[in-house]
Structure 1
């Protein structure tokens, strides 16, 4: 219980920091909405097509969406609306934005979670093979890590479609929300670059831990290599990789924009692209804010995991 309390002690301050980050994101988004050229009322009334709209219709739209209010009042309305989960109406998709986010958040989260899990499994396999396969295996593993980390999503997705969907015909090129086979290629497309970064971090941390005094002490006591790995070095190597995994959430969400469009998979990425194409600023702002919220939550969970791994509950693994 005492260790649990030590782990959760910084949580109130972290939640306050997370709230400040979200306030900053919403504030910057509001400023960006006003910097973008064009009349928002004209965009809404014209459906993003830029057609001429009568002034009477524009006045009605401004009143309906609160665009005729002073900017401070609009800012407060946006803050309160986002805090309550009221994001407005997406004129490009003709639907409530909160309903759209609720409908397409699940497929994107599933894709990102499976990609992160797959990246961890691939990274562990790379590191295990490089660590126990000799000098040439270590060089090959390091080369594969660098190669994987440098692969762009759009190129990798197209390559996997050509190989596994067109050439071999093992997997579908189009991924829908209910197809298990259709998840394989999008997950691999997102996972491989992250796996390269994770493997580099894990291998470097393992090499650093191997030279630590507590590892030499464990070996001098006659502990097996497997015991040293599981009880000592792996725990220290996992901590920086967990921290990196939280930062990968942003990369996975941005990569999902590309991957969901490459594989025609429903999700927030395709919703964001629809908003950008139609200049639906309110929809884009809602997706950006939700993505920032997921990034903040991932960092909070990663910090709690690090503190749980630390036997002293201080968030820094010790021997």
Structure 2
């Protein structure tokens, strides 16, 4: 992909983020219960005059567009603001939460791709196994992430006591259940697409030539057929980036992991609109960057797309 095209894609991402910021700002502003309402409910000694002064202090008496422009100018100037709910700078909260979410996403994507490609290759290379692989993929895709997560918690945390039910302590034991929950549904899609792509690739003329030269079936499958089959799988990974990120938010909430999902949930429920808005925009940016990375990987594997 040419540098000019990458810059063009990045410019498009910035434009989309700007539009999303305005949309998120308007939606959050329309939600009932702003910080001043919460302050009035918490302290009955505050009267209407106090509420008016607080609204003027925080700019809540201004029109929506003026409040948005003031907020956007502050953020672009490097001032992300302060979290009312956590009593910390927003930037200090977003960094650790994003790292936790990226760790979960990275392991889940690696597991989903490895498992899906292995199952798809088995179905393509051994047709007698194809019905079993299709059944496993269908079962995996039919299970919602929150339902699967609850089942895993009941089985491995409650009944067997092998793994913790939630939290984010160091070590693989706290990652295993949320990673498995997030990976299973995506594994099913990757398995189906890998099988279909490999079957098509194995029919190409160069595959017959490789077999005629005496190449082993394993070499034919992975060295000659898989690079072409990987292109549509990577395309699927890019298209599924949004679903993977949104699935991570649900999974983090379910397993009480202190990532972006739990942070957004807590911010929205606590009416910490500035934190919720910036967290949502950061999640949107990560989703678009993941899509761009998948696009770059496709073009690297298949130069004809460049």
Same fold (TM over 0.5): yes
Residue 168 of structure 1, aligned match among 132, 135, 160: 160
Q: Which whole-Å CA distance do the structure 1 matches of 2:99 and 2:241 have between them?
A: 15
Q: Which residue of 2 aligns with 1:105?
A: 98
Residue 139 of structure 2, aligned match among 131, 135, 147: 147
Residue 121 of structure 1, aligned match among 114, 127, 135: 114
Q: How many angstroms does 1:73 deviate by? A: 2.6
Q: Deviations over 1:110-159 (max 9, x none)?
A: 11111111111111221233234441x11000111111122111111111
Q: How many angstroms does 1:85 deviate by? A: 5.0
Evaluate the alpha carbon distance shift between residue 30 and residue 221 of structure 1 in structure 2; reply closer, same or farther with a 3 A threshold: same
Q: Which whole-Å CA distance do the structure 1 matches of 2:117 and 2:197 have between them?
A: 12
Q: Deviations over 1:211-259 (max 9, x none)?
A: 2333334334444323322333211221121122223332232222322
Q: Deviations over 1:8-45 (max 9, x none)?
A: 3411111111111111111211221333345x352453
- Which has the higher mean CA deviation after the structures are superposed, 299-308 or 173-182? 173-182
Query: How many residue pairs align between the two structures?
Result: 306
Output the aligned Cα RMSD: 2.4
Alignment of 1:196-275 (within 5 A): 196-275=188-267
| Counterpart contact for 1:45–1:57, Cα < 8 Å | no
Q: Which residue of 1 aligns with 2:36?
A: 42
In the alignment, structure 1 residue 298 sits paired with structure 2 residue 290? yes
Q: Which residue of 2 aligns with 1:57?
A: 50
Q: How many angstroms does 1:270 deviate by? A: 1.2
In the alignment, structure 1 residue 79 sits paired with structure 2 residue 62? no
| Counterpart contact for 1:177–1:266, Cα < 8 Å | no
| Counterpart contact for 2:228–2:302, Cα < 8 Å | no
Evaluate the alpha carbon distance shift between residue 203 and residue 50 of structure 1 in structure 2; reply closer, same or farther with a 3 A threshold: farther
- Which has the higher mean CA deviation after the structures are superposed, 51-60 or 115-124? 51-60
- Which has the higher mean CA deviation after the structures are superposed, 290-299 or 213-222? 213-222
> Which segments of structure 1 move beyond 4 Å, counting only runs of 4 or more?
49-53
Q: How many angstroms does 1:102 deviate by? A: 1.5
Q: Which whole-Å CA distance do the structure 2 matches of 1:60 and 1:213 have between them?
A: 77
| Counterpart contact for 2:197–2:229, Cα < 8 Å | yes
- Which has the higher mean CA deviation after the structures are superposed, 248-257 or 11-20? 248-257
Q: Deviations over 1:134-193 (max 9, x none)?
A: 41x110001111111221111111111122222222222223242321111111011111
Evaluate the alpha carbon distance shift between residue 95 and residue 56 of structure 1 in structure 2; reply closer, same or farther with a 3 A threshold: farther
| Counterpart contact for 1:43–1:279, Cα < 8 Å | no
Q: How many angstroms does 1:79 deviate by? A: 2.4
Q: Which residue of 2 aligns with 1:93?
A: 86
Residue 170 of structure 2, aligned match among 178, 181, 189: 178
Q: How many angstroms does 1:63 deviate by? A: 3.1
Q: Which residue of 1 aligns with 2:15?
A: 20
Q: Which residue of 2 aligns with 1:3?
A: none
Q: Which whole-Å CA distance do the structure 1 matches of 2:36 and 2:260 have between them?
A: 25
Report the secondary structure of 2:152's partner residue. Answer: helix
Q: How many angstroms does 1:194 deviate by? A: 1.0
**What TM-score do the two structures reach when normalised by structure 2?**
0.89
Report the secondary structure of 2:240's partner residue. Answer: helix
| Counterpart contact for 1:104–1:268, Cα < 8 Å | yes
